[in-house]
Structure 1
């Protein structure tokens, strides 16, 4: 089974006030940590970023398994995901999609989820965690930026985008998605604001 990772780091980071991808934890940026952990599950990582200059210091191009994709449209995470898919050289079996601001990302958990992919129904296009507090179980609230997508999702994804769709949740509502059981909520914590980052540093 071939798995390729896409890391999204092209956001404006407007709530953080500075580039979230370049926040450092123990001397390593969040983007570098995300890429390193992703490569323990995937064969290669495609980083969707705003500009090449933004990440020159990471020396991304020096690693053959890490590729930089410039987010020319800058039109949200869903379009960024599609730009990453378009950059993948050859079709893959599964895409591991990750946000760049998940400080608690765990390689062992991702590898466990990857081993479960072979048991999913062939009709399922994604394997994702859900938010725990959801009063309406008939309509799951997915966590779209920390999970796996089957390559065959491309057709419905591009159709949804071409019709003006930009919401991951609305797209996933039209698809067969399998929920990852017992996903650790701590791993899904993301740093959107300075307070989030401060909270993480206090708890780590």
Structure 2
């Protein structure tokens, strides 16, 4: 199973008030922690970042197998994912897609999920957790899960028609649900209050 990770760190971090990728926990940035965890599952990591400078500030020198993809459009997570896909030179089996601000990622759990990929229906384009939103609807958690390489064909069509929402795209796709996901695993740092809870 050939897996490559894409980590999105090109967001504006407007609610946080500062770059989330550069926030530190125990002396390591959130982006660096996420890359290190992703490498427990994937063969290499592509980081979608706003600038080369951001990437260099956020990644510790000892991390290898990383590539930088500059997010020139700054048009949301779905476009960032698309840019990451376009940067991968050769076909792979699955893409592990992660947001950079998931401080409670568990490498052993990602490895367990990865072992389930071979058992999924060939028609499933993604393997994702779900959560209940404020309107009591179950939504996909698109930035902490796996996408089949072939997902890019429907994604290209969706984006070319003006689509920018992960939820709207996934609504019309076959997605396998990752069950029994610890809620803390999906906690992300959007605000200073969120980051204070983690620290």
Which TM-score applies when normalising by structure 2? 0.95
Q: Which shows bigger deviation, 108-117 or 60-69? A: 60-69
Shift of residue 38, structure 1, vs aligned partner: 0.2
Distance 2:122 2:141 in 1: 21
Map Cα deviations across residues 14-37 of structure 1 (whole Å, 9 max, x no partner).
000000001000110000000000
Distance 1:58 1:30 in 2: 8
- Contact residue 60 and residue 68 of structure 1 kept, 8 A: no
Shift of residue 67, structure 1, vs aligned partner: 0.3
Aligned-residue Cα RMSD (Å) equals: 1.5
- The 5-angstrom pairing of residues 85-96 of structure 1 reads 85-96=85-96
> What is the aligned partner in structure 2 of residue 31 from structure 1?
31
> What is the aligned partner in structure 2 of residue 120 from structure 1?
120
- Contact residue 22 and residue 58 of structure 2 kept, 8 A: no
> What is the aligned partner in structure 2 of residue 175 from structure 1?
173
- Contact residue 37 and residue 107 of structure 2 kept, 8 A: yes
Shift of residue 162, structure 1, vs aligned partner: 0.6
- The 5-angstrom pairing of residues 48-197 of structure 1 reads 48-58=48-58, 64-132=64-132, 135-136=136-137, 140-197=138-195
State the number of aligned residues: 198
> What is the aligned partner in structure 2 of residue 7 from structure 1?
7
- Contact residue 60 and residue 66 of structure 1 kept, 8 A: no
- Contact residue 5 and residue 46 of structure 1 kept, 8 A: yes
Partner-residue secondary structure (3-state), 1:127? strand
Partner-residue secondary structure (3-state), 2:190? coil
Partner-residue secondary structure (3-state), 1:131? strand
Unaligned runs of 5+ in 2: none
